[in-house]
Amino acid sequence: MRHRASQLTLAAVAVLIGVLVVGQIRSQDRPAEVGSLSPQELSARIEALSAANSDLRAGLVDARGQLADYRDAEAQGQSALDVSREELRRLRAWSALDPVDGQGIVVLVTGSLDEIAVNDLINELRNAGAEALAVDGVRITAHSVAAHGTTSLEIDGTPIGRSFRLTAIGDPDGLLAALERPGGLISQLQLFVQATLTVTEVDDLHLPGTTMDLTPVIGTAS
């Protein structure tokens, strides 16, 4: 009976080892028959497998930790990328390279404004926080200046008539307050020019991008 019990025990151990190390046994060129191993050899094999499993579990923990680190880095990288894209969008809109949509004000000018008054009006809106400006569809850039042309005022080479539409995207209340405050620019212009300026808040405005080439020109020394 003892001999039969020992055989059953050895058989159970052999099955266990076979399940645990089927990969290792298959990788050997001439695998040993598990059933032919002595109890001491089986014990040594189990200890070796236990040590290998411990190493595998430790490696799995490390791999999971690295995966978590990679996922965190990916999330942080995506967040930084989103911030960079938003900043790029703002820069392109501010520089007038891209069209802009938003709320703001429309200033209808009817009468006679000289180039100084037009530039003052544009600068006043810039200082009040206008994010984008256009005059009769001509997008105002950082280099745009109203000048007296051959027959009329011009902005970036485009003539504007005695009546024109100045559009500004930004906080409507702030822009309106800057222009219409007591002693503000509109009050001053009405003292010196023959023109009517009507300011209206608008919720949905569209300003085109500039058609000018804004590529910096770097001069070379002769």
Q: Is the pTM of this model over 0.85?
A: no
pLDDT of 203 above 80: yes
Contact at 8 Å (CB) between 160 and 89? no
Q: What is the pLDDT of residue 18?
A: 53
Q: What is the pLDDT of residue 160?
A: 87
- Give the ranges where the chain is alpha helix by DSSP (H): 2-20, 22-27, 39-94, 115-127, 172-180, 185-192
**Closest CA relative to residue 212, chosen from 92, 93, 97, 89:** 97
In terms of CATH architecture, what is 99-207? Answer: 2-Layer Sandwich (3.30)
pLDDT in tens, 170-190: 999 999 999 998 888 888 888
**% of the chain at pLDDT higher than 90:** 25
Task: Assign 91 a pLDDT band (cuts: 50, 70, 90).
Answer: confident
User: Any idea where the domains of the chain sit in the sequence?
Assistant: 1-94, 99-207
Which of the two residues, 184 and 214, has the higher pLDDT score? Answer: 184
**% of the chain at pLDDT higher than 70:** 75
Where b means 16+ CB within 10 Å and e means fewer, 144-154 reads: bebeeeeeebb
pLDDT of 53 above 70: yes
pLDDT of 136 above 80: yes
Q: What is the pLDDT of residue 144?
A: 87
User: How far apart (Å, rounded) are the C-alpha atoms in residues 204 and 33?
Assistant: 83
113 CB-near residues (< 8 Å, 6+ apart): 121, 153, 189, 193, 195
pLDDT in tens, 61-70: 777 777 777 7
- Cβ neighbour number for residue 72 with a 10 Å cutoff: 10
**Closest CA relative to residue 168, chosen from 111, 110, 219, 122:** 122
Task: Assign 107 a pLDDT band (cuts: 50, 70, 90).
Answer: very high
User: How far apart (Å, rounded) are the C-alpha atoms in residues 53 and 59?
Assistant: 10
Does residue 59 sit in helix, strand or coil? helix
Looking at residues 205-212, what average pLDDT do you find?
Answer: 86
CA angle at 163 for the pair 166 and 138, rounded to the nearest 5°: 40
Q: What is the pLDDT of residue 209?
A: 85
Pairing of strands 153-155, 158-160: antiparallel
Displacement of CA 139 from its chain's centroid (Å): 24
Pairing of strands 158-160, 195-207: unpaired
Q: What is the pLDDT of residue 133?
A: 94
